[in-house]
Structure 1
């Protein structure tokens, strides 16, 4: 008699992953792993793999071409995306992305390999990531009891330490920087800046145009799979920084922040809320927001060679390589202007608000909305400005139609009369 080999599904996270009740995990997608290289053929960046303190925590290091053999570089500790369940620093997409970012930013990047769920449920990924940042910071201590890496020791500038990540990695980066506000890093090393790209934040309450049905979709299912024991479930502060018991965002232990979002991404409304909450929290730092029109989740990782991805990566690189944010005096957001591919909002919280002009789904209009920092104080004011331009455009189009119609009538009358 044939045995029944049908397996019962515990979590169906198609098209990414399926978990069965017998403990089997089937990963359905992901890019292939690639080896490190002493010199990338496109960027010239060198990469290598290392073990961080223990075999469970690893990293791939990326070192750009040096002008001087003793050159000091900004240090970026980066956490990859993948919903805590797929991908690694070794997969093609993230390896390629790190090569490009290291070359553009002229930064030493430590891309952390944390253990994945559901084989290793959260908070293991958070703890692995914390171990990695502690190891990096320990290089600033002369007699640290660790095996130091020569690239980090020789080229790392610990006065320019950055933390960053995409998607689930951005979630990790946010929680790491909050934690450093409570638990100082070895040598009292400070984090200068944080960048979050398409951050994976969720919750039980709708944000923006979300419906209650949206809240039980893929993002919810992933969290319940990777952290089933989380207190508060989907409103645990690790996934919902706006929950009632979440630590105040003013405790973010860095002085610079860059948030990068994509208009079509389901996580963008919470990314916007994150920026707005930061502005109201009393956090004393500089903030920059980039919202990319017409793109979806992690588009710059999946295709870093598109024009919009190139622009965004250059923006990230500039954030890392420059010692301070240059406040933008004027920003254009338009679909007709092909040269301006994404909206940026740059502000210093010490200098007041830059205005709420970051709401997504830009309307179809042919004129550029030019916004001075501090000009538009509310979403209502922004929407009124958009409607005004739309009316002006509609009037112009109607006048053009009437003019064309009359010209046609005159031509027909002239030739018809003959």
Structure 2
């Protein structure tokens, strides 16, 4: 009889890779972060990639403040972090961040999920980020598109991509692929990219990788995430 599958890679108990190639991914994660309630913002989930069963969460202010000089909401594509291995649009920290972005910037925020490693190796996550932009383009271009996007309140000529940690890495790759002000996704036009503590690595160590190592995200774990 062969031996039972055993753990060969362990990311804090949240994601475990077994010797037979199977993956365990925990959905029971205790967050010490209360979910913010902001009555000025409404949100909903939308399927943006039927093939890969990927959803995004839209956040929209209920109204434009009377003092605002803008006549339409700009758009922010928010790409969550998680080392490419964990995280969803519904995690409290990401949800709260998107609420604050929508409220503070009077913007429509779109927060997509993307395929995670090790089940889906890079560049799957980058492709999913681009798919989210294509979804926005499709909604604006179709008479049957989502009313929150093509209802006349949104200025899709003013789109900004914001990424946190691994999401910042994805935002970087979108910047290389799409560029700023590109008309390739017209009428959607990305005007800028914001990288929040972007997660980068390579053959040569970056200055931040040289140490000291963080307790949770050690250099060994970071290397394994990129290998996956």
Range class of TM-score, shorter chain: 0.7 to 0.9
Question: Higher strand share goes to which structure?
Answer: 2
CA contact (8 A) 2:78 2:163 kept: yes
Cross-structure match for 1:66: 63
Q: How many residues are paired up?
A: 215
**Could you say if the C-alpha distance between residues 31 and 156 of structure 1 is closer, same or farther in structure 2, counting changes exceeding 3 Å?**
farther
- The answer to whether residue 112 in structure 2 is matched with residue 112 in structure 1 is yes
Give the Cα separation in 2 of the matches to 1:146 and 1:20. 47
SS at match of 1:223: helix
Cross-structure match for 1:205: 204
Cross-structure match for 2:132: 132
Which of 139, 163, 166 is the equivalent residue of 1:165? 163
CA contact (8 A) 1:13 1:221 kept: no
- The answer to whether residue 189 in structure 2 is matched with residue 186 in structure 1 is no
CA contact (8 A) 1:43 1:100 kept: no
Please list, as runs of the form range in 1=range in 2, the aligned pairs for 1:2-401 lying within 5 A after superposition: 6-27=4-25, 31=29, 41-54=37-50, 56-67=53-64, 72-140=72-140, 144=141, 147-154=144-151, 155-181=153-179, 184-187=183-186, 189-208=188-207, 210-211=209-210, 217-225=220-228
CA contact (8 A) 1:17 1:29 kept: no
SS at match of 2:186: helix
**Could you say if the C-alpha distance between residues 131 and 203 of structure 1 is closer, same or farther in structure 2, counting changes exceeding 3 Å?**
same
Give the Cα separation in 2 of the matches to 1:120 and 1:146. 34
SS at match of 1:96: helix
Cα offset, 1:119, TM superposition: 2.0
CA contact (8 A) 1:72 1:157 kept: yes
**Could you say if the C-alpha distance between residues 30 and 146 of structure 1 is closer, same or farther in structure 2, counting changes exceeding 3 Å?**
farther
How well do the aligned residues superpose, as a CA RMSD in angstroms? 3.3
**Could you say if the C-alpha distance between residues 121 and 176 of structure 1 is closer, same or farther in structure 2, counting changes exceeding 3 Å?**
same
The TM-score normalised by the length of structure 2 is 0.80
Cα offset, 1:49, TM superposition: 0.6
CA contact (8 A) 1:160 1:192 kept: yes
Cα offset, 1:167, TM superposition: 0.7
**Could you say if the C-alpha distance between residues 136 and 104 of structure 1 is closer, same or farther in structure 2, counting changes exceeding 3 Å?**
same
Give the Cα separation in 2 of the matches to 1:6 and 1:108. 49
Cα offset, 1:190, TM superposition: 2.5
**Could you say if the C-alpha distance between residues 160 and 29 of structure 1 is closer, same or farther in structure 2, counting changes exceeding 3 Å?**
same
Question: Higher helix share goes to which structure?
Answer: 1
Cα offset, 1:169, TM superposition: 0.8
Give the Cα separation in 2 of the matches to 1:146 and 1:112. 22
Q: Which runs of 5+ in 2 are unaligned?
A: 66-70
CA displacement, residues 262-311 of structure 1 (integer Å, 9 cap, x when unaligned): xxxxxxxxxxxxxxxxxxxxxxxxxxxxxxxxxxxxxxxxxxxxxxxxxx
Cα offset, 1:156, TM superposition: 1.6
**Could you say if the C-alpha distance between residues 12 and 184 of structure 1 is closer, same or farther in structure 2, counting changes exceeding 3 Å?**
farther
Give the Cα separation in 2 of the matches to 1:177 and 1:167. 15
**Could you say if the C-alpha distance between residues 157 and 145 of structure 1 is closer, same or farther in structure 2, counting changes exceeding 3 Å?**
closer
Cα offset, 1:88, TM superposition: 0.6
Cα offset, 1:128, TM superposition: 1.6
Give the Cα separation in 2 of the matches to 1:210 and 1:216. 7
Cα offset, 1:151, TM superposition: 0.5
